[in-house]
Chains A and B, each alone.
Chain A
Amino acid sequence: MEYRLQFREVWNNFDLLLWGAAYSLILCILAGIVGLALGIIAAETRRTGPGWARMLVAAYVEAIRNTPFIVQLFFLFFGLSSAGLRLSPEAAAAIALTVNIGAYFCEIVRAGLEAIPRGQIEAARALGLRDWRIFRAIVLPPALSQAYPALTSQFVLVFLGSAVISQISAPDLTFQAQFLQSRTFRAFEIYFVVTGMYVAMALGFKLLFAQAERRLFPWKGVR
């Protein structure tokens, strides 16, 4: 008996998949933005903060980077709810993604910050700029511009990894795919189309980030 591929069920329920894709996209973009802020604060703390704060940031970064995202998600969703902090799947997914992306961004931004020559900071100080302005105007832009390629490729990796939030029933693209599969039993067809959607979104991000680089950092020249 030969299996015949049948995509009708997929196309009939395509709106469901589109909703899931929109959910994945929006959640990851929000997590990326908040995660970038978190990463910058963590990176600066790790460089200039008091000893205990540096230790804390180091522990956070290493704990996240050396454990699987799915375990972080389960710990947050199941573990903390048993300890009294009840989170909805959506909230748990958003927090887990943000905390995860923040740790990776921290390491990447830190490398960027360390590449800033000390002389530039001293020069800014000699000009009478305040610490905050020095950080915002002198240190951060070139640091981010240097970190940009690593930041964006890490973001795409986290976006692809976000498929896992379906496992705590956050209604992302993979969740909708699994839901559709349970109703239609067209597993391969569904996952084939959904994989195509993920690939398209990932490539779209890469293209967009490459285009945005010249706009964001005009001094960088052609890359």
Chain B
Amino acid sequence: MMRQFTDERIILLLLEHAQWTALLSLIAFAGGAMLGLAVTVMRVAPSKALNRAGMVYTGLIQSTPLLMMLFLVFFGLPLAGVNVDAWTAATVSLVLFASAFLADIWRGAIEAVGRGQWEAARALGLTFLQSFRLVIAPQALRMALPPTVGFSVQVVKGTALTSIIGFVELTKAGTMLNNVTFRPFFVFSVVAAIYFAMCFPLSLWARHLERRLHGAHTS
């Protein structure tokens, strides 16, 4: 039985489950970006109440361990009558997690654009949302891109925690394979290597973008 798990077979199985890590990361990032954009708009909107609500939202989520969010969603939603499996709980928690951090990054980029741009846009008769979409966002985007790409690494790494509530992705596949093969050194080395292969290019890309941004500033 145990002989079935040759080195190649372990690696193949882990790679297979890395697809779930990749898929979950993509969904979390996309969902987090959409929700994060809404929160960003709240934070820069011309309404004190909305600003404060956005601030409480990001502050609260950024002060909560991702693991606790997973537990709360996983054990909490069923109490409200919503049946959740590990996949749903993982997606919901990661989207919330990503949205709060992205909203904070983007708010920073927007504030760096400068008030004068807002005032000029509003003076031209654009509404708040028009100014945001046509004048502010395009300028903020350039500055927001490097840290946004950098944060995607945190999302990929964050998906590893979903293994704890039983979602079978790369880390969970690693612990399961370790349980049958008793070769933790090899199994977790491969798991780490696969995560590295996913995250390192993103890190390099973020660094490249950052360097280009700063280069553009000084020249």
Contacts and interface: CB of A to CB of B under 8 A. Distances in A.
B64 interface: yes
11 contacts: A66-B199, A67-B157, A67-B199, A68-B171, A68-B195, A79-B188, A160-B63, A188-B76, A198-B63, A199-B63, A206-B63
B128 interface: no
B178 interface: yes
B182 to A, nearest CB: 7
Interface string B168-183: 0001001100100011
A69 interface: yes
Interface stretch (A70-78, A123-131, A209-217): A70-78
Contact of B67 (A62, A80, A164, A203): A164
Majority SS at the chain B contact face: helix
Contacts, number: 123
B20 interface: no
A219 interface: no
B63 A71 contact: no
A163 B68 contact: yes
Interface string B52-90: 000000011011111111011001100100000000000
A67 B197 CA distance: 9
A174 B65 contact: yes
B27 interface: no
Contacts of B105: none
Between A156, A194, A199, the greatest number of chain B beta carbons within 10 A of the residue's beta carbon is seen for A199
Give the interface size class of chain B.
Answer: 35 or more
Contacts of B178: 74, 78
A132 interface: no
Interface of B: 59-60, 62-69, 71-72, 75-76, 79, 153, 157-161, 163-164, 171, 174-175, 178, 182-185, 187-189, 191-192, 195-196, 199-200, 203
A71 B191 contact: yes
Interface of A: 3, 5, 62-63, 65-72, 74-75, 78-83, 156, 160-164, 167, 174, 187-188, 191-192, 194-195, 198-199, 202-203, 206
A82 B185 contact: yes
Between B66, B71, B163, B187, the greatest number of chain A beta carbons within 10 A of the residue's beta carbon is seen for B71
A82 B72 contact: no
Contacts of B72: 188, 191-192, 195
B188 A195 contact: no
A174 B62 CA distance: 17
Nearest to A77: B184
Nearest to A65: B203
